[in-house]
Amino acid sequence: MQTDKEITIGILALQGDYEAHKKMLSHSGGAATLLVRSVEELHMCDGMIIPGGESTTIGKLLVKHDIIDPLIHKVQDGMPLYGTCAGMILMAKEIAGSEQTRLGVTNISVARNAFGRQVDSFEAQIPFASLEGDPVEGVFIRAPYVTKTWGEVEILAKYQDKIVGIREKNMLATAFHPELTSDTRVHELFLEMVRSAVRGASNP
C-alpha cells in the first residue's frame, strides 16, 4: 500500500502559545512540526498554524520578519491554515474598530475580547460540526468571536449563539484553544485538510 509522505506543519513561533500546538501535534501522529520564524521555514511547510497570543504583536512581527506577504500568497494558493484565537483575528478580513495588520484572507468579521472584560477566560463544551463524538472542550482566553461571515465560510461551532469556529476552503479557525486540552480532534481535522491538499497537489 502506498503511504502518504510525512507532512510538515509549520507553527508560527513569533509570539504566543506555539509550544502548546507543537506538543498537541506530537500526540496526533503522522506529521512533523516546524516552528516558523522565517520565510525559508515557511516554504518548508505543507500547512501552517497561527497560535493564540496577542494579535497586534504577531501582526507587527509578521511584517518585521517579512513573512506576511509570502504567507498570504501561500494560503491563497491553497496551503491550509489554522488559526486559534489571535490566529483567527489575524486571518479575518474585518476586525471591529481596528486597523491592525492582518492577513485578511478569510471572509469573516471578528470582534476582539468580545466576551467582555469580566470574563477573561472560561471553558465550555462546544458542539463542533464535522467532528464525531462529544462536544469539544472550548478554552476561551480573552477570546474573539465572529460577528459576520460571507462567501464560502461554513460555521462549525457556536457558543451562546456566537460563532466560534469556522472553515472556509483551506482555512480553519477557532476562537478557543484546543491545543490547551487533551482532545486532539480539531488538530486531526486540520491534519486531514493538509493531507488532502498535499494529495491534491501531487495528483492534479
Smallest distance, ligand GLN to C-beta of residue 51, A: 7
Catalytic residue, chosen from 21, 45, 85, 187, is 85
Largest CA distance in the chain: 55
Check if the beta carbon of residue 35 is closer than 8 Å to that of residue 72. no
> 17 is written with which cell numbers?
502559545
- Among 21, 45, 168, 179, the active-site one is 179
Point out the catalytic residue in the list 45, 177, 187, 188.
Answer: 177
Q: Are strands 81-84 and 171-174 parallel, antiparallel or unpaired?
A: parallel
Is there a catalytic annotation at residue 43? no
Residue whose CB is less far from ligand GLN, 26 or 113? 113
For binding to ligand GLN (CB under 6 A), which residues are involved?
52-55, 85-86, 89, 112-113, 141-142
In the three-class reduction of DSSP (H, G, I as helix; E, B as strand; rest coil), residue 132 is classed as coil
Q: How far is the CB of 81 from ligand GLN (least distance, A)?
A: 16
Closest CA to 31 of 152, 170, 191: 191
Within 10 Å of residue 177's Cβ, how many Cβ atoms? Answer: 25
Q: How far is the CB of 145 from ligand GLN (least distance, A)?
A: 11
Report the alpha-carbon distance of residue 85 to residue 164 in Å, rounded.
Answer: 9
Q: Reply yes or no on whether 45 is catalytic.
A: no
Are the C-beta atoms of residues 77 and 46 closer than 8 Å to each other?
Answer: no
User: Quick check: is 177 catalytic?
Assistant: yes
Amino acid at residue number 104: G
Q: Which of 87, 186, 173 lies closest to 137 in space, CA to CA?
A: 186
Residue whose CB is less far from ligand GLN, 128 or 176: 176
What distance in Å separates the CA atoms of residue 37 and residue 32, rounded to the nearest whole number? 16
- Residue 120 CB, shortest distance to ligand GLN, in Å, is 10
Kindly list the catalytic residues: 85, 177, 179
